[in-house]
Structure 1
Amino acid sequence: MRLTLTALALAATLAGGAAAADRITGLPFATRSEVYATEAMAATSHPLATQVALDVMRRGGSAVDAAIAANAALGLMEPTGNGIGGDLFAIVWDPKTKKLHGYNGSGRSPRALSLKWFQDNGYEDIPPHGPLPVTVPGAVDGWFALHGRFGRLSMAEVLAPTVRYARQGHPVHDTIAYYWGRSVPVLSKWPGFTEQFTVGGRAPRTGEIWKNPNLANTLETIGREGRDAFYKGDIARSIDAYFKANGGFLRYEDLAAHQGEWVDPVSTNYRGVDVWEIPPNGQGIAALQILNVLEGYDFSKIPFGSAEHVHLFVEAKKLAFADRARYYADPAFHPAPVAKLVSEDYAAERRKLINPDRAARAVDAGILQDGDTIYLTTADKDGMMVSLIQSNYRGMGSGMAPPGLGFIFQDRGEQFVLKPGHPNSFEPGKRPFHTIIPAFITKDGKPWVSFGLMGGAMQPQGHAQIVMNLVDFGMNLQEAGDAPRIQHDGSTDPAGRMLEMTDGGVVNLETGFPYETIRALMRKGHRIEFADGPYGGYQAIARDHANGTYIGASESRKDGQAAGY
């Protein structure tokens, strides 16, 4: 597939050795240089969204203002991954308090829908599209919560650039056009989608100008009237009427009752740096669990891309994901023993289960007593740094697009399980298991790297790999993102659709790993397969305290850009 034949894939193919090093210099390969700036930095998956963020900070906005502005722009420009019909999570470094603040902006299931309804109507799983997987969208609430604490400009000013682009139009980028084209045949059957998200029934093509005046009106209303315009005003009433007319269960009362929450990020120390994630109902602590297990091995003696490196990573992932399937859920319904899961003692117990010479075919969760997404990061002149991730979940979401509003609802409810007693079993007013996770690294109590790597179950795997690339393998910020990635698939799933892993799963290795590594992994019992594009999308900003600068890096596998001033 053409999308995988990037400069990274080509250069990695030519690379001479396990480290995917440039064959001339012998240094780790990067598709571009890191970006440096003193005043502000933004890294997003769309160049125009990056510029929107920078313009907001030039006008005196904070990094939070910039993040919201960029997120709004991405909802317009990259509707294949996000929008105001979806959820949001964020981690903010506040230079005033010198603390990290987390926000869980995930929405809950409709209160009028029940597990019994699904059972009575013959459902074994929640379908991926249409009205049934729709949950309350938490993004707009997340914007206002973040803005209320850390914003400087008015929300109308923050949303104004996207309102202009939505009315005047913008050119569609290549990767986005490709995924848009894949979504249209699947989602066109749902009311409101074809009228608002196609050009005469087809997806917009690369370079074609796209406008969304309905979204412009919606954002203008939100900017003028505030958060409650979306959750309690005419927008909420339009949403209620739309779902009543189309077999859905989301109601005005569900929107009016929604409230996200501030949470304390959870951390683990990995070789002297603190890696931070949002606690469940998200999957962020899986990255911490992977790192805790791997800290018991001396990677100064294990080369990047070697069979030992890949084997240990995959086995640690299997252990973490077994716990992920068993324990990660909405803590209001099923509290996870987070402190135990991310403890060093527990990691030491789990590490004993790894056979250095053989891939595990089955892994049990520990015994304890107790899709598609966008990621962006911003940083401002005062030292505030924002790590923000937002998603409609699968593809462009459910396909449910209320007429006149210009956005699509997420299908995050597909992650619920229709089995009584399961941690992620469907219940009214419950938050589903969430895949989207922002990340942050501090060093000696100071902010170091704000980063994320989108892409379903790849996210915690990618987070752990980025940390290892920076800490264990000495890569710079761009090299850490461009290095070829590992993805293991086949672990038992929190949504309950996958049976217990009994065959060891499948290891996907991105182009750039030497065949010697692949052969050695096969001898250990790993099943290696080629895969197009499941390796996620990365953005990052690092703080260089010695020089007083920001360093930016952007994903070579997406349309994005890191830029600053």
Structure 2
Amino acid sequence: MRNFHLAGRSTVHAQNGMVATSHPLAALTAIEVLRAGGTAADAAVAACALLGVIEPQSTGIGGDCFALIQPRGEGKIVSYNGSGRAPMAATPQWYLERDLHAIPLTSAHAVSIPGAVDAWVTILRDHGKLGLDTLLQPAIKAAEEGYVVAPRIAFDWKNYFEKLKNGINTQRYLLPGGRPAVAGDVIHQPELGNTLRAIARHGRDAFYTGAIAEDMVETLRGIGGLHTLDDFAAHTTETTAPIGTLYEDHDVWQCPPNGPGITMLVMLNILSRFDLTKFPAMSVERFHLEAEAARVAYMMREQYVADPAHIDVDVPRFLSKAFADEHGDKIRLDRMLDLPTVAPPMHPSTVYISVVDKDRNACSFINSIAQAFGSAIVSNKTGILLQNRACGFRVQVGHPNCIAPGKRPLHTIIPSLVTKGGRAVMPFGVMGGQYQPVGQTHVLTNMLDYGCDVQEAIDMPRGLHYEGLYQLEDGVPPAIVEGLKKLGHKTTRVVPPLGGGQAIWIDWDKGTLIGGSDPRKDGCALGY
């Protein structure tokens, strides 16, 4: 239980509906949708569209979307893959002939076809009651009438000033007065408001065909892109079943590849071989085991996981007990494993939204423009900030994640849903680029192994073993840092905090909902 003498947040409790987001206005918008009779899917889309305006460094209609939805909190879980594809002209040979051995982060080649809008429409078709004409109104209002910049968003704006200063159309759209926005500034984006109005009126075709698509293609081709109108018009969202594993009597579900949720499931399978409760939640042993499980899982992901429409991904093998045993048997508490350093192509940002409505429809929803402020390319006339998700590709012939025409890159964004006995108990997610599988594992084990409530689990200090360094938040005690060094870990303090998370726990016995939201972001959980 929280010590009320100390700074912190209480969990939020409600009976009818609950939402947790990274911005208070998005949470309020989602609650208003629920109170007006909308579903969890309706609320998630409305909140996400608003976040695409007021949290522009993380998300927007120029990005991608994944979601897991369980109607009425029981029965079949549906996975939505709204990730975009490479242009049909994007062959590895094209890049290699031009001596490009990686996708430049702020080039037209970094932009895959944005999948979010089509994903929203698909999700609403299956699980919504309200249309985009209603749900986009808060985002339109914020873009046209202005919104107030929140502190964490201002922090990111300042940190990426140089990127925005050197982008395409970014000075015009995202650097008011030639400087980064600061907390309290009021920002207007009328061009983006017009674009959202067109989508509200005409649906997904307004984005993927016609004047808006023409402007995006013209912008990209004008700086060397390979995109065509046919690439945009052909985009579709994939609807599948989730993949999952069992941990501490709970089933944990993720979207299948090209989503990277399998990474988190492999981590859980390895950690299930150890009794974490033998060690305190804040201990060298716990942080060491988490890092070792992550190193194995990330190595597997980078070697074998890619778009299953192009590469056979042996999901059953990687989620098998044999795979967990093979690698778990090698982990030692007195030293690090001798593993190669994994260097993923990019380290993105995102927003995550958790919603449960009065009918207990559970929605785990994530939307991203990849790295902070995406590609730093804004479409000429539309105000759309375009993602740089294609930087997740390799330019390495023979690698499973090598770029290819119409291929989806290995992603980073992962919504998760936890069930018990077939019933939803927690839609949750942890943002933060490559941190997400570790973050989800950290939060879930905080709850299931250490008895934390959702807010305590989110609050607890974090670490990420990434590219050979154990990046640790300021809240990790010096004794743990020193203990990790003695085991061979090279440690460093991380400058921005590691990600942000949201979660809603469903208490079926009491008929109540319990929400938590990460203090590392500006947001909150709200219920009614």
What range describes the TM-score normalised by the shorter chain of this pair?
over 0.9
Q: Counterpart of 2:403?
A: 426
> What's the offset of the Cα at 1:197?
1.6
Instruction: Determine if the alignment matches structure 1 residue 436 to structure 2 residue 413.
Output: yes
Instruction: Determine if the alignment matches structure 1 residue 156 to structure 2 residue 133.
Output: yes
Correspondences of 1:371-382 after superposition (within 5 Å): 371-382=348-359
338 and 182 in structure 1: CA distance in 2 versus 1, 3 angstrom threshold: same
Q: Which amino acid aligns with 1:114?
A: T
Q: Which amino acid aligns with 2:56?
A: P
Alpha-carbon distance in structure 2 between the residues aligned to 1:237 and 1:206: 35
Unaligned runs of at least 5 residues, structure 1: 1-20, 366-370, 491-504
Q: 2:436 aligns with which of 438, 459, 464?
A: 459
Q: 2:445 aligns with which of 461, 468, 476?
A: 468
Q: Secondary structure at the match of 2:377?
A: coil
Correspondences of 1:261-340 after superposition (within 5 Å): 261-340=238-317
Larger CA deviation: 432-441 vs 191-200? 191-200
Q: Counterpart of 2:227?
A: 250
Equivalenced residue count is 523
Q: 2:73·2:423 contact (CA, 8 Å) conserved in 1? A: no
Q: 2:60·2:367 contact (CA, 8 Å) conserved in 1? A: yes
Larger CA deviation: 32-41 vs 395-404? 395-404
Q: 1:533 aligns with which of 491, 496, 503?
A: 496
Q: Secondary structure at the match of 2:177?
A: coil
Q: Counterpart of 2:165?
A: 188
Instruction: Determine if the alignment matches structure 1 residue 238 to structure 2 residue 201.
Output: no
> What's the offset of the Cα at 1:511?
2.9
Q: Which amino acid aligns with 1:254?
A: D
Q: Counterpart of 1:411?
A: 388
Alpha-carbon RMSD: 1.8
Alpha-carbon distance in structure 2 between the residues aligned to 1:242 and 1:484: 42
Alpha-carbon distance in structure 2 between the residues aligned to 1:443 and 1:470: 14
> What's the offset of the Cα at 1:24?
9.2
Alpha-carbon distance in structure 1 between the residues aligned to 2:156 and 2:310: 35
Correspondences of 1:207-218 after superposition (within 5 Å): 207-218=184-195
Q: 1:30·1:483 contact (CA, 8 Å) conserved in 2? A: no
Q: Secondary structure at the match of 2:299?
A: helix
538 and 459 in structure 1: CA distance in 2 versus 1, 3 angstrom threshold: same
Q: 1:319·1:363 contact (CA, 8 Å) conserved in 2? A: no
Q: 2:368 aligns with which of 371, 376, 391?
A: 391
> What's the offset of the Cα at 1:96?
7.8
Instruction: Determine if the alignment matches structure 1 residue 550 to structure 2 residue 513.
Output: yes
Larger CA deviation: 69-78 vs 509-518? 509-518
Alpha-carbon distance in structure 2 between the residues aligned to 1:338 and 1:217: 43
Alpha-carbon distance in structure 2 between the residues aligned to 1:356 and 1:484: 21
161 and 341 in structure 1: CA distance in 2 versus 1, 3 angstrom threshold: same
Q: 1:187·1:398 contact (CA, 8 Å) conserved in 2? A: no
Q: Counterpart of 2:345?
A: none
Instruction: Determine if the alignment matches structure 1 residue 104 to structure 2 residue 67.
Output: no
Identity of paired residues, percent?
Answer: 40
Q: Secondary structure at the match of 2:110?
A: coil
Q: Counterpart of 1:52?
A: 29
Q: Counterpart of 1:512?
A: 475
259 and 514 in structure 1: CA distance in 2 versus 1, 3 angstrom threshold: same
Q: Secondary structure at the match of 1:132?
A: helix
> What's the offset of the Cα at 1:97?
6.3
Correspondences of 1:77-116 after superposition (within 5 Å): 77-95=54-72, 98-116=75-93
Once the two structures are superposed, residues 495-540 of structure 1 have per-residue CA deviations (whole angstroms, 9 ceiling, x without a partner) of xxxxxxxxxx221232333333333322222222222225111011
Q: Secondary structure at the match of 2:442?
A: helix
> What's the offset of the Cα at 1:121?
1.4
Alpha-carbon distance in structure 1 between the residues aligned to 2:221 and 2:370: 23
Alpha-carbon distance in structure 1 between the residues aligned to 2:130 and 2:451: 39
Q: Counterpart of 2:142?
A: 165
Normalising by structure 1, what TM-score? 0.90
Correspondences of 1:489-500 after superposition (within 5 Å): 489-490=466-467
Alpha-carbon distance in structure 1 between the residues aligned to 2:231 and 2:145: 34
Once the two structures are superposed, residues 125-154 of structure 1 have per-residue CA deviations (whole angstroms, 9 ceiling, x without a partner) of 110002111100000000000000011012
Once the two structures are superposed, residues 242-286 of structure 1 have per-residue CA deviations (whole angstroms, 9 ceiling, x without a partner) of 223232211111001111101211111001011111111121111
Q: Which amino acid aligns with 1:267?
A: G
Alpha-carbon distance in structure 1 between the residues aligned to 2:95 and 2:504: 44
Q: 1:43·1:552 contact (CA, 8 Å) conserved in 2? A: yes
Alpha-carbon distance in structure 1 between the residues aligned to 2:497 and 2:226: 32
Q: 2:258·2:308 contact (CA, 8 Å) conserved in 1? A: yes
Q: Secondary structure at the match of 2:47?
A: helix
Correspondences of 1:346-361 after superposition (within 5 Å): 346-361=323-338
Alpha-carbon distance in structure 2 between the residues aligned to 1:469 and 1:306: 12
Unaligned runs of at least 5 residues, structure 2: 343-347
Q: Counterpart of 2:111?
A: 134
Q: Which amino acid aligns with 2:174?
A: F
Once the two structures are superposed, residues 315-337 of structure 1 have per-residue CA deviations (whole angstroms, 9 ceiling, x without a partner) of 11111111011111011111211
Alpha-carbon distance in structure 2 between the residues aligned to 1:247 and 1:136: 15
> What's the offset of the Cα at 1:441?
0.6
Q: 2:89·2:405 contact (CA, 8 Å) conserved in 1? A: yes
Q: 2:465·2:471 contact (CA, 8 Å) conserved in 1? A: yes
Alpha-carbon distance in structure 2 between the residues aligned to 1:22 and 1:381: 27
Deviating runs (4+, > 4 A) in structure 1? Answer: 21-25
Q: Secondary structure at the match of 1:190?
A: coil
Q: Which amino acid aligns with 1:165?
A: A
> What's the offset of the Cα at 1:22?
7.7
Once the two structures are superposed, residues 146-204 of structure 1 have per-residue CA deviations (whole angstroms, 9 ceiling, x without a partner) of 00001101210011111112111111101101212233321333332222222122222
Alpha-carbon distance in structure 1 between the residues aligned to 2:480 and 2:217: 55
Q: Secondary structure at the match of 2:384?
A: coil
Correspondences of 1:18-57 after superposition (within 5 Å): 31-57=8-34
Normalising by structure 2, what TM-score? 0.96
Alpha-carbon distance in structure 2 between the residues aligned to 1:427 and 1:363: 26
